[in-house]
Amino acid sequence: MCIYERLFEHFGPQNWWPAKTEFEVIVGAILTQNTAWANVERALDNLSAKKMMSPVRLRKARCSELARLIRPAGYYNIKAARLKEFLEFLFKRYRGDLRRMFSTRTETLRDELLRVKGIGEETADSILLYAARRPVFVVDAYTRRVLLRHKLISDRSTYHQIQSIFMENLPKSIGLYNEYHALIVKLGKTYCTKRPKCDSCPIRSCFSGGGCARGLRLVRT
DNA sequence: CACCAGGCAAGTA
DNA sequence: TACTTGCATGGT
């Protein structure tokens, strides 16, 4: 029994970003930076209600108007500017066409996204996985916390090092990366909190050998 | 009331 | 390079 199977058995499918447009996924990825998803959804609803959920419409909107609409997501001034930064990139580089953007190879697109002010590694990888549908594993604060708690990484491990643990031990599957990341977030929220509920942690028995890297059986071999 | 949430960039030394 | 700080709403 590998960790992924155990998590999926315990929590079930997380259904992240289901049936959304690619553009909405990207907007959500930026708005959810250090922010609870429930608040992001209100902001997304506001944009949709105003028929603003398109590259053309968002680009036309004034920054102050945009900030007002995304207010529930917090950091609204910063995030309005970040959305604008992405849209300027999208129009200057790809004529505002996501299809064109998604025709770029994964490594190149990742580098381009990282050059956009307001898009860091996690946001870039979220866009690549959930919008562009590339097999890129997303590392976030929960991933770090869960692995650190199980002593599978050190507190000095870099984003890339943590990402490599998954990508070098898992098949390059979009569906698997999608669900696995979401399940780790769910695990972190539920069991890897400040007062951890280690006794009932669903992957507790996966680390019976005591936390070495070999204990991280990410999938059945 | 305090603390946290699906980060990131700018400032400081 | 390595730390620290600002950004901000809404839920627990």
Q: Which tens digits make up the pLDDT trace of A1-37? A: 688 988 999 999 998 988 889 999 999 999 999 999 9
Q: Name the pLDDT band for A216 (thresholds 50, 70, 90).
A: low
Q: What is the pLDDT of residues A56-76, one digit of tens each?
A: 999 999 999 999 999 999 999
**Distance between CA atoms of residues A196 and A172, nearest Å:** 31
The reply to whether the CB atom of residue A75 sits less than 7 A from any atom in nucleic acid chain C is yes
Nearest DNA or RNA nucleotide to A77 (CA to C1'): C7
Nearest DNA or RNA nucleotide to A30 (CA to C1'): B7
The reply to whether the CB atom of residue A130 sits less than 7 A from any atom in nucleic acid chain B is yes
Q: Kindly report which amino acid residue has its CA closest to the C1' atom of nucleotide C10.
A: A39
Amino acid at A179: E
The reply to whether the CB atom of residue A180 sits less than 7 A from any atom in nucleic acid chain B is no
Protein-proximal nucleotides of chain B (any atom < 7 Å from a CB): 3-10
A211: left (phi over 0), alpha (psi -120 to 50) or beta: left
The reply to whether the CB atom of residue A13 sits less than 7 A from any atom in nucleic acid chain B is no
The answer to whether the CB of A135 falls within 8 A of the CB of A180 is no
Output the pLDDT for position A203: 80
**Distance between CA atoms of residues A127 and A132, nearest Å:** 6
* Nearest by Cα to A31 from A21, A39, A20: A39
- Cβ-Cβ contacts under 8 Å for A126 (sequence gap 6 or more): A25, A29, A138
Quote the pTM value: 0.94
**Distance between CA atoms of residues A198 and A178, nearest Å:** 25
Nearest DNA or RNA nucleotide to A159 (CA to C1'): B7
Q: What is the pLDDT of residues A152-175, one digit of tens each?
A: 899 999 999 999 999 999 999 999
Output the pLDDT for position A19: 80
